[in-house]
């Protein structure tokens, strides 16, 4: 149970870190006029979004196991 709570906290930190990366890439994409750079950033955002979804899913699973959610 202690290990699960520790893992849950780590997942929360990962979610915050990944979300910050996504926000940074979104801001970069909005501020570029270079089409190639925008496409590259868009691809990066999609990869980050997939990673975020996986981490959030694991967080939900752990929360349910611990009865926190």
Query: Residue 9 has which token pair?
Result: 């906290």
Give the pLDDT confidence score for residue 69 in this predicted structure: 58
Closest CA to 17 of 66, 65, 62, 56: 56
CA distances from 6 to 9, 10, 21, 23, 33 (A): 5, 6, 23, 26, 43
pLDDT digits (tens, 9 = 90+) for 9-43: 999 999 999 999 999 999 999 999 999 999 999 99
pLDDT higher than threshold 90 for residue 68: no
20, 26, 31, 32: CA torsion to nearest 10: 120
pLDDT in tens, 39-51: 999 999 999 999 9
């Amino acid at each position: 149970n202690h290990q699960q709570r520790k893992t849950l906290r780590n997942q929360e930190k990962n979610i915050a870190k990944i979300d910050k990366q996504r926000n940074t890439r979104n801001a970069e994409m909005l501020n570029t006029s270079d089409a190639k750079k925008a496409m590259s950033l868009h691809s990066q955002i999609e990869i980050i979004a997939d990673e975020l979804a996986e981490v959030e899913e694991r967080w939900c699973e752990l929360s349910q196991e611990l009865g926190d959610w």
